[in-house]
Amino acid sequence: MARPSLAISRCTETPTSPRLLLTNVHAPKGQSHQLNIILHAGQEGGQGLVTQDPGPAWKRGPILRAALGVFPALLQAHSVLGHGAALCTGAKGIVNSSLIPSLVGKLQTEEERIQELLLDTLAACLMEDATEALASRVVPFLKEKLLSANSNIRSKAAQALIAVSIPLEGKNQVWQHDIIPILVHLLKDKEEEVQASAAGALMYVTVTTKGKYAALDTEAIGPLLELLHSPLSKARLNAIKVLTMLAEAPEGRKILQSHVPTFRALKEDTSAAVQRAAQIAVKVIEWKP
């Protein structure tokens, strides 16, 4: 009997059209927990991975969904998905193939190494369209991952929440599931990457009035001010942007007025983006109705 075969590979039909494709992965009897992915060398200037089949890459979406359900350890498979999702067309392909519910569900069952790859893939896909993920209860799943003992998972879950929180529905769900206090707590995480990611998520959820006051009620300003001295420029940048959002509320603006000199000092920061953000923050804090 012929061995069943499936494959996940990224196909490049043109330099500007990378896609994900199923082909040529073998699952011999007795090794159903392993997926051996055959990847062909990149061509066309190193643009992606080329397969034998140049046909429509996503018409086999149901096969991939079946594979995700059959193989409980798909580290390599999810890795390839992540590589494809990092490209705009790859993320769109995953979304259009209705794979998001399967990926969200796997967050609950896969081992931590695969969870990290799933979170990377979801973050890229959610930037493309978060609608299906929001309907699949991705927000409460990400809330659970924020509490993980694994710092990589905490950081990547916060990064996925950044993408989730771009649409208004995502912002509302983050508020409804009481995630803002957890994000504020993560501002004091022992890992700097987690701090930066948590500040990034807060940057989006505090756009709404509910989000602003949830952060203020959780006393977010203190740890955010501490992050202004982080060695990571992205942490400083994200913290400034969150504080700027909080300064739009009268209560936040009142607290931050005594910290204007700190923001002025950041106009000399080594990062041009931090300099610009600090200038905007000062204008918002000093604004008078």
Per-residue pLDDT tens for 101-112?
888 888 888 888
Task: Determine the distance from the C-alpha atom of residue 68 to the mean position of all C-alpha atoms in its chain, rounded to a whole number.
Answer: 21
What is the per-residue pLDDT across 135-176, written as a single tens digit (0 to 9) for each?
989 999 999 999 999 999 999 999 999 999 999 999 999 999
- Distance (Å, rounded) from C-alpha 242 to C-alpha 260? 15
What number is the average pLDDT over the span 2-7?
A: 35
Q: Where does residue 137 fall: left (phi above 0), alpha (psi -120 to 50 degrees), or beta otherwise?
A: left
Is pLDDT at 207 greater than 60 in this prediction? yes
Per the model's pLDDT, the better-predicted residue between 49 and 62 turns out to be: 62
- Distance (Å, rounded) from C-alpha 93 to C-alpha 59? 10
| pLDDT at residue 113, rounded to an integer | 85
What is the per-residue pLDDT across 212-253, written as a single tens digit (0 to 9) for each?
999 999 999 999 999 999 999 999 999 999 999 999 999 999
| pLDDT at residue 90, rounded to an integer | 58
As given in the structure block, the two tokens for residue 40 are 């062909």
| pTM of the complete model | 0.72
- Distance (Å, rounded) from C-alpha 187 to C-alpha 287? 27
Torsion from C-alpha of 265, 266, 272, 274, nearest 10 degrees: -160
Across 83-92, 170-179, 246-255, least confident range: 83-92
SS (H, E, C) 142-157: HHHHHCCCCHHHHHHH
Helix 192-205 with 168-176: angle, nearest 10 deg: 110
Please identify which residue in the block is written with the tokens 């769900």.
Answer: 173
Where do the DSSP E strands lie in the chain? 9-12, 18-21
What number is the average pLDDT over the span 68-83?
A: 40
Across 64-73, 115-124, 258-267, least confident range: 64-73
Per the model's pLDDT, the better-predicted residue between 224 and 120 turns out to be: 224
Mean pLDDT of the chain: 75
What number is the average pLDDT over the span 120-135?
A: 87
Q: Where does residue 28 fall: left (phi above 0), alpha (psi -120 to 50 degrees), or beta otherwise?
A: beta
Is pLDDT at 97 greater than 80 in this prediction? no
What is the per-residue pLDDT across 183-200, written as a single tens digit (0 to 9) for each?
999 999 999 999 999 999
155 SS3 class: helix
